[in-house]
Structure 1
């Protein structure tokens, strides 16, 4: 030391004034060093050595968070070898000097982290290092828990929770100890003792609101399954089974969620089950980002009804308002990494757990992400992290990216939305690829969903569009000119409506700013809007466009543009579009196509549909994107298995993957086509038997925790007319029933062993192109997600064909019998060769016309329904047996001159033919000829069709109608048995039938009543009962 400036050291002892070698070494890499001293008189002080002068305004607020009161400061500096060191001695008052002495190491460490800017914030929670000797990371844990609880419970405030932690510091310490013991690696645990100590301490808390906060924190930790706390990271992440704490929560609750806490960013990832998928978004909703993510997860759950994983969604906020691109990428990477730390890996087919992470949730290996708002270009980055961490999914972790399906290039989301909505136009006799339709849209041409949607057909007449900044109006567009200009704009980089060639816009149109205070209306715009006003501001003009009478509104941009008349716009969440949002009863468009998410509230959809508007559900319309992503993941998993078993080389994988593109796109669009068609058929079915739909709602309510009549705006049974239009249940409600019925079937199949049988292999082969079937048969059958793929294939097939009410009797018959029903349906469908029959109809959809298409499909399903109910009674039938029986029956029907669709009405009697065979001992062919002959003789096919047409008004009447039909079936068996009993050896089957009717049965009265019944335009259930009773009298 060269010298001491100013020999008057003013209250600093000689020891305090010396810069030791230890301090010098420390200050070479840090700006500050400190010591806490307590003298013989119990006077406490903090001595700070620093390379830059510290101001009291810097230090006092920090120490205040420890409940330290600064009563005096002495400062000086020392010059040593041309290095200047500043010394500041702060005399402090503390309540408990013993605690300060005992806990000073943790206190010193924490203050140093703040002063050396290793921490970018200071908090009152830091007082717990003084009061309870908590370490820095333990304090961070408490901050993370408080931040998470604030997102979890809308009534919870972060600062309030922090204050309660401090107020009850001894209980807080017990809670931290409980967490440490639960998740510390390699220790013996006694969690019950720790929990008992907490509960005993809580019994002394007198303030009920404080007690509730601490109990919720305890419940969070109790249901915590994993944490990265014991890894070498400054970020805390943990995974919770949220459904175990649902009593504390409102609305639909995810099963699993992860929370990631950093001083720079926070985020959540919500999953409805372990195998879930959904996008990760960069949120700007700082106060309630979890609510935003949860709403999107709920929508994703419905959308994912057609794919293997359940609904999932993730999102994060960055605490800095305007982060740089580099900062965004950094925090995105850290978020992804922290989430991956909470799941397992697979190596050589074995599940591998992470070191230093204690898990209570079993194996958890399936974790995937996708692009979303703010992260659309980050798939490659996410996959780099996956590959760097040797995560088993590799570049299948994040769909899209450079070696994935480019959704914008494929236009898949938009094409899927148009494919769903096309159903409405087909029903009107309009071909959207040949006939012009007028459109108003939300979005801009550079967007994936909007841009691809508006170039899907050159017959689209875009009258107007609203983006977040601009308004485009083309009052009288020329189809060819406007289409070509949209295509140009779509392919132009960084395009917006202002770059639309003005010469291509019809007279009076233009591009305007949404923020404009005053826009002068041209005569053409006045005529378009049917207004005499001379001026409108930007928001008024946008709102007027949304209310135009056009063929279709195409929602292709972010935002919620329509609400119900009962909803308050302030509560919708989308503030940017609040001033242009319309009520559902103000929509004059015939059709709404939801290419984007949440363009309408659910209640708005229901109201619009109740008023005659045509709309599905965003999850129905825009589900093609997530469907494509799921195919991508499953195909990559499959291709990786081919590499592992030596079938292909690494370089062949990407080529094979690209070859699958056309197959995947066609398969995905087919799903959109079939779902929209299925909902149309359910509209018709709901006119005939609404009780089955009410029962379906009850089944979903009882079997899916996240299905809520209240949240989905499905009224009580007595108020069901509120969702009826023209005698049909509205499509948004039917859409929900369609999607969630699929989920019910999928769940049941995944939990059962039924599909483990090799006879269900055919359903996983359908997931892959035919040319793969022979070459890679074994690998396809052994796909890691075989069971899940089969389950979703079957659930899609059944609900798309039969309709949502397939699950309506689940509660009545129970799980085991419902599994038999599923298999019986698949057998029945095989019996009728349903796939081939439907494919022929689908391929000629527009030419056939909807009336014939719908009637043929409904007729097929009615016969399958009849057959599956009878097959259920004999669950020993297998797929191989069904093929032989079908061939025998078709041979007999040819002899009876019964062909084509008419064969359906006879094939459905298979179970009774088998019963006849067993009871009489005759061959199946003879039993078929016998049963079909009796059915023809009594004209039972037409009679049963006529009874089926009788409307029922209650579940009791529905049951009575089924019983009436069952009696007819038993009569067939009884007459067949009698025919064989009295048959002469010299007679063949047709002769025996003629003989018994000539000698044993008097048909005159039956024929008279039957003819009257058949000729009546309106029969009651009583009429059906009378004619069946007459039939009974014959036997």
Structure 2
């Protein structure tokens, strides 16, 4: 028939020595494995299985190609854990010990073969798994090589830590591949940080992983170019995602995949069509693997996947997002979600054609810009109205870099570099031309710096390839960068650009370019940029904006921050993207449910109409988080001990890992000048504090189910949802998690990490009481309104003056919480409680504003001189006078006396006994440790308690004044003794708390006769 035919011949080499003996014992002559051998050869020829040394197990054990493939999958996963073990070493362990290899597969088979007789896990354990473990141990006794023994035991541990596997679901299908779900905490020899669980996907043409920090977690899927250690790459990104996700409902997750064929390397955007299609196929395989092992959810019930044996609790929440190389793949993932009838529908993968287009919205860059604006405001510069210089990493076709370089008309972009090009413009025109050209490139699909109009570049500039060996250095470039050479190669020029004297270093591209001087390049884990990376000590840029991930190592951020550089972390700066995706997913969950119930016909128009409000909410979060770091900088400068103790506490609770977060030991920070804690260090503390507080709130259902917290659920959703579908919000599957996250973020963003220091550390302690108290008084004082009024003064008054106002508000609220804690008051933000305190506050404010006080007038004038509007200034003067407000409300209720009468008596007693001076002295006396701080706090509480007793005594006496009451006392020596101690303290200011303890004892004798 004129077709060319081929004859293929194969030589089978029988194993020798010990393996041959074992093979003889395990299986019949070669003829008995003839069928399996032919099948294996065929699937290898068909490209459905790998052709490697493990196939020897076929003739050694009689295992089928798919059964061998299970061991191959575990081998490949094992190699991703970062051990100093090679593929050949693991192969050697399995092939040289075929009886153990067979036992490992038999144990796997017994764990995951669906069998109605073994549906009871206890029965499966007793009748099947336990005997097989004993058999495995017996087989291990024959392993003579200690390295083989360690490898085989690790493989057994991996199988035993597997909670689900799709082997029996996929075994007979054409699109066969293996996916298994690992309980990471159950893997003994796994480096930290450990995810809660992970899914590994193994196919002949790809490998993939999905790491999750918790049951409710989210993060992007990336196309990795690191086949040897892609799990290490994904693990680092997951850790960043966990910090980033402290802002949103789910914790962090991250996924990724690699192609196995060497000729299909990932190199966007120039990848061949074949490579792109292979990447798309690999992505689909990974998504199918994840969905194979994930529960579904319908009618408030969890539905387990069929033909999957599960050893873990119900786990239906799975969402993914785009990342490097997968920006256009969300629709593919959502199509798979539809095929699986997955309950999240197209909320499964955010950012698809029916979701929010992050690049079109520019949301990630806009969020990072909020942080950059704050840095410059603190330097006294308004970058929306004043020119500033920039060096950037990225190109104009990119989302974060491109959008970022269009966010201010006053950007003077002096240089930028991407993976391919270097752009130099030493003296950019002050006209609109550079901005307009950047906009043109942004709108041009697939543009690069090479498309930049050369006629618009200033003298001495140009566009070069990053790979160029000889780039001429112009006079302008020499003057700007201090270069002494006539020419440089591209990599050397990039190093100069990173260390350039500019206002802003804007990171919008992929890669780690800055390390600490104490780090080696190999520790960074980004080999492709080893030749351009510089130390943080080389940087002179005033501000860094991390629109991209992992541009700095954490140690580099800290080193740069200690040298005066202004930087947060990537998790803080570029959180807007994941925040937007989270809003998208939770809105779709709600709206999909409403559509299923026929409450709305088509939710898409409503969903799209809320885009603007979602973006405003997201950007407000970036504003608030960067503000939190600024306020915590001031708080930690005043009292670093609170933050260092918090770090130790969070570490002990498992929410913080110093090594992973590169957070120095306490002694190292205490040895710094001024005991400075940098913003990057505060950023990881902030994330850990939010995660800790969120979990504590989630564990306390009393507050979450209280109607008083419904407003925080409503605050998450746009106004249109609240106006029309408010009654349906409580049915959202994540309603409790949303409330907990909103409350946690609100409190930590405003009160700072030190809010957690109010908790006494007891596992059954009173953090919930602090939360309820804070929320109550924040609403009583109209904290939100006050903050908005202060925020409105951005660029109208100095940032440090704004921060003084905000810290005063938080100091007042913290004092209220401490009072409630010391008095064991259980305060909840319910309507009655808020109304009671609000009425007293209004009475007090009316009385307060009628008073004529030189001190108050001076304070008001100072506020107004700083540029604060009169109404806000008046309010802040009042706020600063509220330290004892809840205490006086309580006294008013206890004595059945109106608030103003109690206030007058309180004020009179405090002045008469000189207690204001005592409070000031105690505040100025720095505590040396936790116990001194506790004694100081308790002393002030004791003084307040005694004042309360005095007020009650005066009200019950014949005198209506403090002075008259003491004149009536029969024992004048008590008041005289008090005055002597008071005089001694004021004559020689004490250096410790003992004199104040003595004074408090004398004060108590005034109201307790027997003392």
Taking structure 1 as the reference length, the TM-score comes to 0.87
1:230 matched to 2:230: no
8 Å contact kept, 2:93–2:148: yes
Instruction: Identify the match of residue 749 of structure 1 among 697, 714, 725.
Output: 697
Aligned to 2:867: none
CA distance in 1, matches of 2:583, 2:229: 32
1:99 matched to 2:34: no
Distance 1:704 1:906, change over 3 A: same
Distance 1:913 1:358, change over 3 A: same
SS of equivalent to 2:664: coil
1:961 matched to 2:913: no
1:656 matched to 2:598: no
> Which deviates more from structure 2 when the two are superposed, residues 856-865 or residues 999-1008?
999-1008
Distance 1:862 1:838, change over 3 A: same
Distance 1:267 1:476, change over 3 A: same
1:721 matched to 2:662: no
1:431 matched to 2:406: no
After superposition, what is the alpha-carbon deviation per residue over 1:659-691, rounded to whole angstroms, capped at 9, x for unaligned? 211111111111111111111111111122111
Distance 1:438 1:97, change over 3 A: closer
1:174 matched to 2:103: yes
SS of equivalent to 2:331: helix
Aligned to 1:838: 787
After superposition, what is the alpha-carbon deviation per residue over 1:490-546, rounded to whole angstroms, capped at 9, x for unaligned? 112221112111121122211122211111122111111123322222111111111
> Which deviates more from structure 2 when the two are superposed, residues 534-543 or residues 869-878?
869-878
Distance 1:387 1:98, change over 3 A: closer
CA distance in 2, matches of 1:464, 1:779: 52
8 Å contact kept, 2:27–2:61: no
| CA deviation after TM superposition for structure 1 residue 815, in Å | 3.8
CA distance in 2, matches of 1:494, 1:1018: 71
Instruction: Identify the match of residue 927 of structure 2 among 944, 952, 975.
Output: 952
Instruction: Identify the match of residue 329 of structure 2 among 378, 381, 384.
Output: 378
Aligned to 2:60: 131
| CA deviation after TM superposition for structure 1 residue 914, in Å | 5.6
Distance 1:203 1:98, change over 3 A: closer
Instruction: Identify the match of residue 598 of structure 1 among 544, 550, 563.
Output: 550
The unaligned stretches of length 5 or more in structure 1 are 1-27, 29-49, 70-92, 985-990
CA distance in 2, matches of 1:545, 1:101: 66
| CA deviation after TM superposition for structure 1 residue 959, in Å | 2.2
| CA deviation after TM superposition for structure 1 residue 874, in Å | 3.5
8 Å contact kept, 1:550–1:589: yes
8 Å contact kept, 2:30–2:59: no
Distance 1:1014 1:257, change over 3 A: farther
1:821 matched to 2:770: yes
1:576 matched to 2:528: yes
CA distance in 2, matches of 1:734, 1:999: 56
| CA deviation after TM superposition for structure 1 residue 586, in Å | 0.6
CA distance in 1, matches of 2:911, 2:597: 58
Distance 1:1023 1:863, change over 3 A: farther
Aligned to 1:328: 279
After superposition, what is the alpha-carbon deviation per residue over 1:237-292, rounded to whole angstroms, capped at 9, x for unaligned? 000110122x4122211011000000110110000111111110111101000000
Bigger Rg, structure 1 or 2? 1
Q: CA RMSD in A?
A: 2.9
1:858 matched to 2:799: no
CA distance in 2, matches of 1:671, 1:122: 52
Instruction: Identify the match of residue 345 of structure 1 among 296, 318, 326.
Output: 296
| CA deviation after TM superposition for structure 1 residue 349, in Å | 2.9
| CA deviation after TM superposition for structure 1 residue 938, in Å | 5.5
CA distance in 2, matches of 1:763, 1:51: 73
8 Å contact kept, 1:886–1:907: no
| CA deviation after TM superposition for structure 1 residue 975, in Å | 1.3
| CA deviation after TM superposition for structure 1 residue 103, in Å | 4.0
SS of equivalent to 2:795: helix
CA distance in 2, matches of 1:97, 1:901: 85
Instruction: Identify the match of residue 347 of structure 2 among 382, 385, 396.
Output: 396
Distance 1:796 1:340, change over 3 A: same
> Which deviates more from structure 2 when the two are superposed, residues 537-546 or residues 885-894?
885-894
Q: How does 1:955-994 map to 2 (within 5 A)?
A: 955-983=930-958, 991-993=960-962
Aligned to 1:443: 394
Q: How does 1:701-720 map to 2 (within 5 A)?
A: 701-704=651-654, 707-720=656-669
8 Å contact kept, 2:166–2:180: yes
CA distance in 1, matches of 2:47, 2:378: 65
Aligned to 1:777: 726
8 Å contact kept, 2:81–2:191: no
| CA deviation after TM superposition for structure 1 residue 1014, in Å | 9.4
CA distance in 2, matches of 1:1032, 1:487: 73
8 Å contact kept, 2:40–2:65: no
After superposition, what is the alpha-carbon deviation per residue over 1:294-346, rounded to whole angstroms, capped at 9, x for unaligned? 00000110000000111100000011232432222222112111111110112
Instruction: Identify the match of residue 208 of structure 1 among 134, 146, 149.
Output: 146
CA distance in 2, matches of 1:425, 1:942: 39
1:250 matched to 2:179: no
CA distance in 1, matches of 2:367, 2:112: 46
1:454 matched to 2:405: yes
1:565 matched to 2:517: yes
Instruction: Identify the match of residue 42 of structure 2 among 110, 113, 119.
Output: 113
> Which deviates more from structure 2 when the two are superposed, residues 211-220 or residues 780-789?
211-220
Aligned to 2:581: 629
Distance 1:160 1:811, change over 3 A: farther
SS of equivalent to 2:750: helix
> Which deviates more from structure 2 when the two are superposed, residues 639-648 or residues 735-744?
639-648
| CA deviation after TM superposition for structure 1 residue 994, in Å | 5.4
Aligned to 1:996: 965
8 Å contact kept, 1:699–1:807: no
1:869 matched to 2:818: yes
8 Å contact kept, 1:174–1:194: yes
Q: How many positions carry a matched residue from both structures?
A: 948
After superposition, what is the alpha-carbon deviation per residue over 1:726-752, rounded to whole angstroms, capped at 9, x for unaligned? 553111101110111001111222233
8 Å contact kept, 1:225–1:238: yes
Aligned to 2:256: 315
| CA deviation after TM superposition for structure 1 residue 191, in Å | 1.8
Aligned to 1:15: none
Aligned to 2:246: 305
> Which deviates more from structure 2 when the two are superposed, residues 782-791 or residues 975-984?
975-984
Aligned to 1:699: 649
Aligned to 1:147: 76
8 Å contact kept, 1:699–1:808: no
The unaligned stretches of length 5 or more in structure 2 are 119-123, 265-273, 852-873
SS of equivalent to 1:152: coil
1:523 matched to 2:450: no
Aligned to 1:78: none
SS of equivalent to 2:192: coil
Aligned to 1:197: 135
Aligned to 2:7: 54
CA distance in 1, matches of 2:930, 2:396: 51
Q: How does 1:798-947 map to 2 (within 5 A)?
A: 798-808=747-757, 810=759, 812-872=761-821, 873-879=823-829, 880=831, 881-896=833-848, 897=850, 900-905=875-880, 907-913=882-888, 915-917=890-892, 920=895, 922=897, 927=902, 930-931=905-906, 934-935=909-910, 944=919, 947=922
8 Å contact kept, 2:808–2:880: no
